[in-house]
Chain A
């Protein structure tokens, strides 16, 4: 079982609300990632980080923002949620050097109504 946790597991919110999806890992990994995945579809990288105070946008344009103030914590924020943000959000982490294997959280299923 990977030591990476996402909360909440499921979230239903109204349009226009601000939300933060939490992701924490206890493995001391420097690299962390956020992916967006619609049901049965491929994963799209939306944000990644190589360490504290390092954040980069991924391949899929996203209105979300991220921060990396602590190694173990990589939250994702949507300032004003819209129905188009409805999706599953997956957080992952991996070592900076050594094996590139990524460990994933269970995901947050977000529904914006």
Chain B
């Protein structure tokens, strides 16, 4: 991946457990975003964290950002079967003078009822 890696690539947990997904990136960023994709559909924006923020919450989602390690994590608490989807991190990077929105490889999350 041009931007970085996500891990794990796949995660399967029981309903009610917490799910943690990690994202690493290579370049300096102004912000990092997390998206969700249901099977065969487009991506939906979940949350954005700016480079001067360390943690952000939105409902059952908690995102952290460590710019010194160039990494971010997405935590979904009290998971539900409906959370089953792929989750991607994304950043805007500057390549040859142009800003491009690039995505990580994604984590496929399965919540077992």
Contact = CB atoms under 8 A, between A and B. Distances in A.
Contact of B43 (A41, A56, A90, A109): A90
A59 B102 contact: yes
A110 to B, nearest CB: 13
B43 A102 contact: yes
A99 B41 contact: no
Contacts, number: 65
B40 A90 contact: no
A88 B100 contact: no
Nearest to B88: A43
A92 interface: yes
Q: Which among B43, B90, B105 has the greatest number of chain A C-beta atoms within 10 A?
A: B43
B87 to A, nearest CB: 12
Nearest to B43: A104
A100 B101 contact: yes
Contacts of A74: none
A102 B101 contact: yes
Question: Max chain B CB contacts within 10 Å: which of A33, A101, A105, A107?
Answer: A101
Question: B44, B101, B102, B108 — which one has the most chain A CB atoms within 10 A of its CB?
Answer: B101
Contact of B45 (A58, A88, A102, A106): A102
A94 B43 CA distance: 13
Contact of A45 (B33, B48, B101): B101
A13 B30 CA distance: 42
Contacts of B43: 43, 90, 92, 102, 104
A41 B104 CA distance: 10
Interface in A19-56: 33, 35, 40-43, 45, 48, 56
20 contacts: A2-B42, A41-B105, A42-B1, A43-B43, A43-B88, A45-B100, A48-B98, A48-B100, A48-B101, A59-B102, A90-B42, A92-B42, A100-B30, A100-B31, A100-B92, A100-B101, A102-B35, A102-B43, A105-B42, A107-B40
Sorted nearest first, the 6 A-B pairs with minimum C-beta distance are: A104-B42, A42-B105, A43-B103, A104-B43, A101-B45, A106-B42
